[in-house]
């Protein structure tokens, strides 16, 4: 006897082959028309057509014929835990003040660092819960959370401990990344190497307390060079962490090439990736995590060369880059629209980029981002007729219901029209 049987319209089943989908594979997406998924004890027990499900018994049957059903979405790049906000910077952006100039003037990341240092751990936790609840209502069931707004031992650990607590208490599964190398704090101005050594000195404690699986660095003009980033990430790899990099976000420094060279799990942003960087992505296991929401929000015209990357054979994932400065949104569905309009990705590539490939980008490809018998039942029912509809109809939330580990965690309340 199943606990829940969902009778849907189309069911999206991204291919799960043990690694991220790349190149032409990204355009493959299995769809079951008039599909059904059965859940028992939090796990997927049946995937097939409604016809095949006809003889199954279930305590509860959700009759959602005509609605799309998919795996829970995965958001592989967020700066979830932070204090304060940066709406005051919008006026500067409107006046055309570049992101890196705001940062150099002590704003940007530094503004959030000040607010995060001043925010108590409990308050950071409550704020994180608020944002996670919103992510869940948008269909995200697994996501990454970076530190990086402390830039000192005490606050970096505070952020990571908050993320650990959130992972233990909120339905969304969180994967933590240490981004202590996010910017150079005032007290280390002009001494980047010394600051990086200070951040590296935290790795043993972070590892001992299980506070992060990945280490990341902001490789950018006025922050950390490609060489500094390479040395830092290689030391993090030696210490047993997976490594990621904010690369070629604004200036094309060549972080993409370096990421492929050292075997980073992912290289993120890549707006300025060179032809050589694109070629190397096609030949490496490094996943390109693209963040078109950031490019949009920074008012840039040039977006990451996703089509070239996919043509080169690379694996691409998508993310909100949720953070208070360069991409203040939890709406991964809007990112799907930007991927269609600005990255020229197909609906099939987009769906693979917010599910299976996003899961592999944060080391969760074996448990999230696809539908398989025996896997935990992380599912989203959408108020849309087919899988092409979400990128097409933008700026709204299409979620009808979300199940996490087979439990209904978001359900469209009955709308009492009168």
Contact status: 323 vs ligand IZC (CB under 6 A): yes
Question: Which CB sits closer to ligand IZC, 26 or 317?
Answer: 317
Residue 160: closest CA among 231, 217, 215: 215
150 binds, among Zn ion, ligand IZC, none (CB under 5 to 8 A by kind): none
CA distances (Å), origin 159, targets 12, 176, 262: 35, 10, 27
Question: Which CB sits closer to ligand IZC, 312 or 320?
Answer: 320
Tell the smallest beta-carbon distance from residue 265 to ligand IZC (Å): 18
Question: CA angle, 321 as apex, 43 and 227 as ends, to 5°?
Answer: 115
Count of positions on this chain that bind Zn ion (CB under 5 A): 1
Neighbours of 234 (CB within 10 A): 13
Radius of gyration of the chain (CA): 21
Contact status: 248 vs Zn ion (CB under 5 A): no
Candidate ranges 20-28, 108-116, 230-238, 360-368; the one touching ligand IZC (CB under 6 A): 108-116
Count of positions on this chain that bind ligand IZC (CB under 6 A): 11
**What distance in Å separates the CA atoms of residue 190 and residue 194, rounded to the nearest whole number?**
9
Residue at shortest CB range from ligand IZC: 325
326 binds, among Zn ion, ligand IZC, none (CB under 5 to 8 A by kind): ligand IZC
Contact status: 144 vs ligand IZC (CB under 6 A): no
**What distance in Å separates the CA atoms of residue 85 and residue 115, rounded to the nearest whole number?**
8
Kindly state the tokens that stand for 288: 């390109």
Contact status: 330 vs ligand IZC (CB under 6 A): no
Window 302-321: residues binding Zn ion (CB under 5 A): 321
**What distance in Å separates the CA atoms of residue 161 and residue 52, rounded to the nearest whole number?**
46
Contact status: 249 vs ligand IZC (CB under 6 A): yes
Place of tokens 């969760």: 364
CA distances (Å), origin 415, targets 133, 265, 384, 400, 412: 20, 44, 17, 12, 8
Candidate ranges 41-49, 104-112, 137-145, 367-375; the one touching ligand IZC (CB under 6 A): 104-112
Contact status: 79 vs ligand IZC (CB under 6 A): yes
Window 188-247: residues binding ligand IZC (CB under 6 A): 218, 246
Kindly state the tokens that stand for 39: 């859940």
CA distances (Å), origin 223, targets 146, 196, 229: 17, 11, 10
* Binding-site string for ligand IZC from residue 352 to residue 391, where x marks contact by CB under 6 A and - marks none: ----------------------------------------
Tell the smallest beta-carbon distance from residue 173 to ligand IZC (Å): 23
Contact assessment for residue 179 and residue 217, using Cβ atoms and an 8 Å cutoff: yes
Residues at the interface with ligand IZC (CB under 6 A)? 79, 108-109, 112, 218, 246, 249, 323-326
| Binding residues for Zn ion (CB under 5 A) | 321
């Amino acid at each position: 006897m199943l606990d829940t049987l969902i009778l849907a319209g189309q069911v999206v089943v991204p291919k799960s082959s043990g690694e991220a989908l790349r190149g032409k594979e990204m355009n493959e997406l299995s769809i079951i028309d008039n599909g059904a998924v059965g859940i028992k004890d939090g796990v997927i027990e049946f995937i097939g057509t409604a016809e095949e499900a006809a003889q199954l018994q279930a305590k509860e049957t959700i009759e959602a014929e005509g609605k799309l059903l998919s795996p829970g979405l995965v958001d592989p790049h967020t700066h979830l835990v932070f204090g304060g906000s940066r709406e005051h910077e919008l006026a500067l952006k409107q006046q055309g003040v570049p992101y890196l100039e705001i940062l150099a003037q002590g704003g940007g990341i530094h503004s959030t660092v000040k607010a995060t240092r001043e925010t108590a751990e409990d308050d950071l936790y409550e704020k994180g819960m608020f944002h996670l609840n919103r992510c869940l209502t948008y269909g995200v069931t697994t996501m990454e959370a970076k530190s990086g707004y402390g830039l000192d031992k005490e606050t970096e650990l505070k952020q990571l401990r908050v993320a650990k607590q959130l992972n233990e208490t909120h339905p969304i599964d969180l994967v933590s990344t240490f981004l202590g190398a996010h910017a150079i704090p005032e007290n280390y101005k002009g001494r980047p190497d010394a600051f990086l050594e200070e951040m590296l000195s935290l790795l043993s404690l972070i590892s001992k307390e299980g506070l992060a699986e990945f280490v990341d660095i902001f490789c950018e003009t006025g922050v950390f060079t490609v060489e500094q980033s390479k040395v830092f990430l290689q030391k993090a790899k030696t210490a047993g962490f997976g490594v990621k990099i904010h690369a070629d976000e604004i200036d094309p420094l060549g972080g993409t090439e370096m990421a492929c060279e050292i075997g980073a799990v992912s290289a993120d942003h890549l707006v300025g990736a060179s032809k050589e960087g694109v070629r190397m992505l096609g030949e490496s296991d490094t996943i390109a995590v693209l963040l078109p929401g950031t490019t949009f929000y920074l008012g840039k015209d040039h977006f990451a060369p996703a089509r070239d990357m996919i043509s080169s054979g690379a694996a691409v994932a998508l993310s909100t880059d949720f953070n208070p400065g360069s991409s203040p949104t939890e709406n991964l569905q809007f990112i799907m629209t930007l991927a269609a309009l600005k990255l020229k990705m197909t609906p099939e590539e987009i769906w693979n980029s917010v599910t299976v490939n996003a899961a592999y980008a944060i080391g969760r490809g074996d448990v999230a981002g696809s539908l398989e018998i025996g896997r935990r039942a992380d599912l989203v029912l959408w108020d849309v007729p087919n899988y092409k509809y979400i990128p097409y109809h933008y700026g709204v939330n299409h979620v009808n219901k979300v199940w996490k580990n087979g439990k209904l965690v978001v359900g469209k309340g009955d709308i009492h029209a009168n």
